[in-house]
Amino acid sequence: MRLEGKVALITGGARGQGAAEARLFVKEGAKVVIGDILDVEGQKLEAEIAETGGECLYVHLDVTSEADWKNGIDRAVAQFGKLDILVNNAGIFIPAGLEETDEDLWDRTMDINAKGVFLGTKLAIPEMRNAGSGSIVNISSTAGLRGSLSTAAYSASKGAVRLLTKSTAIQYARDNIRANSVHPGIIETDMTLPTLLVDEESRQKRISRTPLGRVGIADDVAYGVLFLASDEASFITGSELVIDGGRTAQGFSECQFHFRSGFIKTLRAYCIPFSRLQVCQSIWPDPTTYQFQNAVVVRGSHPSQLAIPALVYNYTHLVSRKLLQGIDFS
């Protein structure tokens, strides 16, 4: 088994992605500590794993509390003798643009998504050093790799996780402690169902932008986390594992423009530099084009059908109601 003899602490492990990781880790031989604030769900999962013969302990753990972290790690070591693996999985997702994000939302998002990773990492490292090695897997997001129109605080928090992971990796490599980040795309969980996958239209919209043609499931992420946690990844640290069905590999972006007047319009168009226009026309017959200063907007089929990536180029020139007046992009 891939985690035989290992002890793992997984935050946000009571349900969803964290629960999938906990079940998989136990299946692969690990002793697992589940940390969460969802006590009922966490205790049920603890009992479920025990019924299958696995070793699991649930602890109440608010990742924003240093005292909770100390208690969780102390109980893990007291119960199982050591700590080999930390999966910082706990997080929240509340979509909001920059101007729609108030101070409370910003602080709550950063506290749970970023500060929680910092506290857990800081307090787990001494026990991993005592154990002789360790693996830290931080769950970031594809939102931590690129900008977003509607997730200011969430993107900032996941970007922070990404770079904290790299700093951890280089600081503690000498102690044989590895740190890597995982960047899921759209994964069907309790967190995304009421937000990104709220109805069938939303689901199909996201599927249409994913080259593999489906929404991810929790096990897709769990198997990636398992690999990074295991000794199979012993020469991997400071790396990023993207699990998104190929979505971030695409070189295009669908732009949604928000105007101060309250007018909101989705611009289903793609900006391509003049130098690429001739090439695009050769494989994208008779596109309807509109010229704005030094960029061209091409309307037509989805760019995933193109042989070259469509490039977003100077789209700030397009974010002007004056420029868009009188043009139908529907």
The Cα–Cα gap between 164 and 171 comes to 11
Residues across the chain:
330
Q: Is 84 helix (H, G, I), strand (E, B) or coil?
A: coil
| Structure tokens given for 199 | 């109805």
Q: What is the DSSP letter of 317?
A: G
Extract the tokens encoding 72.
Answer: 């969780």
| Beta-bridge partner residues of 299 | 288
Catalytic residue among 58, 154, 313, 315: 154
Alpha carbon of 231 to those of 3, 6, 297, 320: distances in Å? 8, 10, 49, 53
Q: Which residues fall within 8 angstroms of residue 68, CB to CB, at 6 or more apart?
A: 35, 60, 61, 62
DSSP state, residue 260: T
**Cα separation, 18 vs 87, whole angstroms:** 9
* 172 is a catalytic site residue: no
Backbone angles phi, psi at 237, to 5 degrees: -150, 150
Residues near 129 by beta carbon (within 8 Å), at least 6 away in sequence: 175, 177
E strands, 43-163, where?
Answer: 56-60, 85-88, 134-139
Which residues are known catalytic residues?
A: 154
